[in-house]
Structure 1
Amino acid sequence: MSTTTGVHAMVRRTHEGRVLSALRAFGALSRAELAERVGLSRTTLSEITATLVKRGAVVVVDTDAALRRGSGRPAERLALDPAAGQFLGVDFGHRRVQVAVADASHEIIASGVERYDDGTGWTDRIAAALGLVDRLAREHGLHFGALQAVGIGVPGPYTRAGAGGAHITWKQHTAPDGVDAAFAERFGSPVMVDNNTRLAALAEAVSRPEPLSDLVYVRLSDGVGGGLVVAGRLVTGARGFAGELGHVTADPAGAECRCGKRGCLETVASVPAILTACRARGAGTDSLDDLAAAVAKHDPVVDAVLRDAGSALGRVLGAAAMALDPDEVVVGGEIVHVAPVVVEQAAATLRYEMYAIPAAEPIRVRAGRLRDSDGALGALTATFHESPLLAGYPETTAEEEPQRSAP
């Protein structure tokens, strides 16, 4: 694509964004009202709105006949199509894919999950994700002709191509077995890919009125991962490994990890590791539901396993907190709501690890506010590009804008 064409594409997207923002803020507007609010000529505005209507982002809702004075032909009024999925967030876990769809006002209009085996290949994982998107579209009456961007979280460690300081575009990111290409081909929209737990950290950081300046986040799920917010920015590191707490050694003589090392935190504090440890000690815990039932009954074996996992987690978090001195440490994942003792024990261990550090107040350790959808929500947040936490993140560029296929 030539530079001139790329600049035109970038300008067009900017105009479209301004029109969508005006409709989001003010509701239904005529083309004349839109032109006035966004500062575009009527000719340019007519071209932009025609494209948005054709794609399904905007619909004609009525005319201004009831509002206008005097004679003249009533003007059509345009509004955002509430059934248009404008942004798509996808979180690939080791054993499930989570999808969330947001409209132009950034409200979640559909979400769901599809499960698969840990050893499932990426071709089948991608097929499961696309099948889930199709199912959500049918169940909620959605369409994706107006899709602006797709955010995808993949299990880490995830290394970006070109990392190390040079500016890179989303198009240059290489996800496992072409996950980015598959979604770009299917939807004809810009695709962003990053580590799923880093995106979950983003979702947690912006889930409060004022985003945190410094945050350590760890998620206990099928695996264990983390994310770091440092000086108000979500960081990736020189090689894309920043926040990969699941592969910090918690027990040098421990079990072999999927990464090839021994005793990683993931082998102790992930959901499968906790369930396995409970079963090894005689507790019948094959699922999180079983674990929740055992916690409710105050099973001493389960409580001991959870406290061991929390202690290991606290030691790793203590080391990270000593290095970064964060405002908060957040522990996410469904298990922290099922078994809050994990967070309690992690907090107690972290306080012990940092006892010699004088401070006005201790570091706050809390359970994540979000549930298992946090990675998909973080992927959505990254596509919005509205959070100051994303300063320095690569922007989608016009040079390689994909051709939009028919919905």
Structure 2
Amino acid sequence: MRRQNLAVILSTVAGSGPLSRAAVAKRVGLTRTAVSSLVDELLGARLLVEGDVRTNGKVGRPGRELALNDRGPAGLGLEVGPAHLGVCVVDLRGATRVWHRVPARNRSRPAEQVLAELVELAADGVREAEAAGLEIQGSVLAVPGVLGPAHDTVEHAPNLGWRDVVPARHWPGQLRAPELENEANLGALAERWCGAQTADTLVHISAETGIGAALVIGGRLFRGAGGYAGELGHVPVHHDGPRCSCGARGCLEQYAGARAVLRAAGIRGTHRDPVATLAERARDGHAPTLAALAQAGEAFGTALTSAVNLFDPAAVVLGGAYAELSPWLLPAMADELAARVRVRPWDPDVLRPSSLGRSAPLLGAAHLTVRRILTDPARLGE
């Protein structure tokens, strides 16, 4: 009961603060004595701070305002992408206090080398956070791949070239090894926690080099029986299409992945940021690029039809780097969905771009630890 009450008080201050102890007691339905004892515990854990006396012009004994501590526990988010590394620290108030997202050609390098560079970046981020009075209470690593059941192994990340990689084996003792999570899942959570999406049931697409998706049903991630739900990039859109890296034919990534769209647009050469290249060409009215993006949008619509028919989501969110291509992808996606969805009249407002774009997985990784603290503050003492 005490554990639950600690969570109720902390979440009340988080959602409605700053509040006096008396105001908290009134909102949660506990006695002032009980609230005072629980608040003292939260103050001792550096989860709350008590502000200066306020009077608000009222007669009587003034109260002191309680607020979340912005110099206390914090969450560390990490990310490995095919072309970047990322580190983010978020405080209890949800403010981003550290942010580093740097280019890195990770696709063709050994996992040990990539992780060694990430560790260095993470150590810099932790030092920066500690200098600001923050204490890292957990870390989560976002990866674009399939994870093992225990969430400690990257079983397969084709766009990194990783198979059966255990990051903890390459993590130094002075830094706590991170928990692993799929980047599309974290992107979906970030959209609900930090972005503009309030829908309890949604499909979130995370697309750049590869294409993944996350399903949120009733406000919770749907992982599937073995944790493998969301492999949208390998949904077949043409059964006799080109061979995919997964071994099948006609997968969505062969029509809508960034490299496939570049090829269809006739854009050759190596591009550090293929999505930015496509957006630039599209803005310039480059006809082959516009046609390639329309074809990719049609493929997305075909692949998403089953998900929409099966789950009836309130929102379908185009995220990741592809949020930057939404002006050219969404019209074709919407047309295809309107033509194929039959379980209900298609509402075009269901389909929308992400408000967070590329930053979503890294933000989601950092916020995951903070959310866990806010919903179960007693975990800090365990």
- TM-score bin, normalised by smaller chain: 0.7 to 0.9
**Aligned residue in 1 for 2:74:** 86
Separation (CA, whole Å) in 2 of partners of 1:383 and 1:41 = 22
Q: CA deviation at 1:195?
A: 1.2
Question: Which of 67, 84, 93 is the aligned partner of 1:105?
Answer: 93
Is the Cα contact below 8 Å between 2:189 and 2:364 reproduced in 1?
yes
Question: Which of 214, 217, 231 is the aligned partner of 1:227?
Answer: 214
Q: Give RMSD over aligned pairs.
A: 4.3
Superimposed CA distance per residue, residues 320-371 of structure 1 (whole angstroms, 9 cap, x where no aligned partner): 11111111111112233145211221111111111x4443845611111112
Unaligned 5+ segments in structure 2 are 22-31, 54-64, 155-163
Unaligned 5+ segments in structure 1 are 1-9, 30-34, 65-76, 162-171, 402-407
SS at match of 1:329: strand
Question: Which of 150, 156, 159 is the aligned partner of 2:148?
Answer: 159
Q: Which amino acid aligns with 1:248?
A: V
Is the Cα contact below 8 Å between 2:81 and 2:144 reproduced in 1?
yes
**Aligned residue in 1 for 2:236:** 249
SS at match of 1:152: strand
**Aligned residue in 2 for 1:272:** 259
Q: CA deviation at 1:16?
A: 11
Separation (CA, whole Å) in 1 of partners of 2:212 and 2:380 = 33
Is the Cα contact below 8 Å between 1:327 and 1:364 reproduced in 2?
yes
Query: Residue 78 and residue 204 in structure 1: after superposition, are their counterparts in 2 closer, same or farther (change >3 A)?
Result: closer
Query: Residue 215 and residue 253 in structure 1: after superposition, are their counterparts in 2 closer, same or farther (change >3 A)?
Result: same
Q: CA deviation at 1:318?
A: 1.2
Superimposed CA distance per residue, residues 127-154 of structure 1 (whole angstroms, 9 cap, x where no aligned partner): 2222222344566774686112212222
Q: CA deviation at 1:257?
A: 2.7
Q: CA deviation at 1:245?
A: 0.6
Q: Which amino acid aligns with 1:371?
A: G
Superimposed CA distance per residue, residues 307-330 of structure 1 (whole angstroms, 9 cap, x where no aligned partner): 111111110011211111111111
Is the Cα contact below 8 Å between 1:84 and 1:143 reproduced in 2?
no
TM-score (norm 2): 0.74
Identity value in percent: 26
Separation (CA, whole Å) in 1 of partners of 2:319 and 2:38 = 48
**Aligned residue in 2 for 1:329:** 316
1:3-402 alignment, distance < 5 Å: 25-26=17-18, 39-40=36-37, 45=41, 49=44, 82=70, 86-114=74-102, 115-136=104-125, 142=131, 146-161=135-150, 173-175=152-154, 177-180=165-168, 185-188=173-176, 191-207=178-194, 211-278=198-265, 281=266, 286=271, 287-338=274-325, 340-354=327-341, 356-359=342-345, 361-362=347-348, 364-385=350-371
Is the Cα contact below 8 Å between 1:330 and 1:365 reproduced in 2?
yes
Superimposed CA distance per residue, residues 266-288 of structure 1 (whole angstroms, 9 cap, x where no aligned partner): 2221223222332xx35678333
SS at match of 1:218: strand
Query: Residue 214 and residue 120 in structure 1: after superposition, are their counterparts in 2 closer, same or farther (change >3 A)?
Result: same
Separation (CA, whole Å) in 2 of partners of 1:27 and 1:131 = 40
Q: CA deviation at 1:238?
A: 0.6
SS at match of 2:358: coil
Query: Residue 346 and residue 178 in structure 1: after superposition, are their counterparts in 2 closer, same or farther (change >3 A)?
Result: same
Deviates more, 1:20-29 or 1:126-135: 20-29
Corresponding residue pairs, total: 347
Is the Cα contact below 8 Å between 1:310 and 1:344 reproduced in 2?
yes
SS at match of 1:86: strand
Is the Cα contact below 8 Å between 1:84 and 1:144 reproduced in 2?
yes
